[in-house]
Amino acid sequence: MINPLQTPHSGYHWDNSDRRFFEGWYYRVTLPEDRQTFAFMYSIEDPLGGKPHSGGAAQILGPDDEYICRTFPDVKKFWAWRDALGLGHWGKTNSETRFLKETGFLEPAEFSSHIQEGYQATATWHQGKICDRGSSNYCSWQYEIKPIYGWGNQNAPQQSTAGFFSFLPIFEPGWQILMAHGLATGWIEWNGKRYEFTDAPAYSEKNWGGAFPQKWFWVNCNCFDSQPDLALTAGGGRRGVLWWMESVAMIGLHHQGKFYEFVPWNSKVSWNIQPWGRWQMQAENEQYEIELTGTTDLPGTPLRAPTENGLQFVCRDTMLGQLTLELRERLGSKSKIILKAHSSLCGLETGGGPWNESWLSN
């Protein structure tokens, strides 16, 4: 059954060529009662194989921003669907001959029986287990997902996050929010502690391409105080467009069935991002204005991201950021507040560089 909220770019983008290529996926579950978040990051690079950076990885940012990582060097054990959201990568298996010859989604019980290390993920299911190679830390998980918001109004065709131009390879890397908000039910076990949850806020996005952003920032939250039906994703970066670089940013908000989109072609978007600790953004168009501020006193956790030189520690994240936002409707020369919200479970990130000083929009 096709997900009615399936966005453009949900399928795998690799064209089977030998050009430099990566694709990455991000899944997250936030547990309000535990005040914790689990963020799962998957990547595949140069999937043809035989290249210096060929291979995949699974990274998890867990409770209190703790981190584990597992690489999967065998590209032949990676699979992904072309026409819908679905991917997986096997590490150790109990049935080598069988699972090396066939790839694709396994029934959950079959996965549990045969896959010792690996993961599989779709729009409605997420399952896996990995052990950190550098420590005794491990994580296993299994939960179903009920999508609430894709990227766009609920009863309308879903949109590309980067608009029409994201269909063309002149803008790289591409970026797509796959599910701005959903509800997850299942369990995650982290180093022996089991977290069980029902209808926990869930989120997913992806990026892909043959070029890599030089510098970027990201603010994301779908777990707000007293606002269960609210999801925000905002971010910006310097990316390649043909032979020049451009700095772009956007803010997207879903609330009570409506999508508020602030992007360069319909709004003025500005930002002031410190190297770490404070993220400020404002945007306005003919109908609405929005302001948001993310802050953290935590040091954040270094994470790996695909680069020209393979997977490297080039970004820093916390899932325990503070966030305030205000959305206003413009009424002539005045404006009316239609939403104010706060969260202490916001995802905040800076990546690339240089980050010698605050980054202000032009």
Work out the angle at residue 287's Cα, subtended by the Cα atoms of residues 284 and 289, and round it to the nearest 5 degrees. 35
Tens-of-pLDDT digits for all 362 residues of the chain?
567 899 999 999 999 999 999 999 999 999 999 999 999 999 999 999 999 999 999 999 999 999 999 999 999 999 999 999 999 999 988 865 455 445 689 999 999 999 999 999 999 999 999 999 878 899 999 999 999 999 999 889 999 987 655 555 555 688 999 999 999 999 999 999 999 999 999 999 999 998 777 899 999 999 999 999 999 999 998 876 666 677 889 999 999 999 999 998 999 999 999 999 999 999 999 999 999 999 999 999 999 998 989 999 999 999 999 999 999 999 988 999 999 999 999 999 999 999 999 999 98
What lies within 8 Å, CB to CB, of 97 at 6+ separation is none
3-state SS, 271-292, equals EEECCCCEEEEEEECCCEEEEE
Q: Can you tell me the distance from the alpha carbon of 196 to that of 187, in angstroms, rounded to the nearest whole number?
A: 4
Closest CA to 133 of 157, 153, 117: 117
Partners of 218 in the β-ladder: 235, 349
Q: Which residue has the tokens 């190297």?
A: 275
Q: Is 145:124 a contact under the CB 8 Å cutoff?
A: yes
Measured between alpha carbons, how far is residue 254 from residues 171, 197, 236, 267, 291 in Å?
25, 23, 18, 17, 15
* ω into 173 cis (within 30 of 0): yes
Q: What predicted TM-score, i.e. pTM, was given to this entire model?
A: 0.96
CA atoms within 13 A on the CB side of 291: 5
* C-beta pairs of 85-88 under 8 Å, 24+ apart in sequence: 85/3, 85/6, 85/10, 85/11, 85/121, 85/122, 85/123, 85/178, 85/204, 86/120, 86/121, 86/122, 86/123, 87/12, 87/25, 87/42, 87/120, 87/121, 88/118, 88/119, 88/120, 88/121
Strands 67-72 and 268-273: unpaired
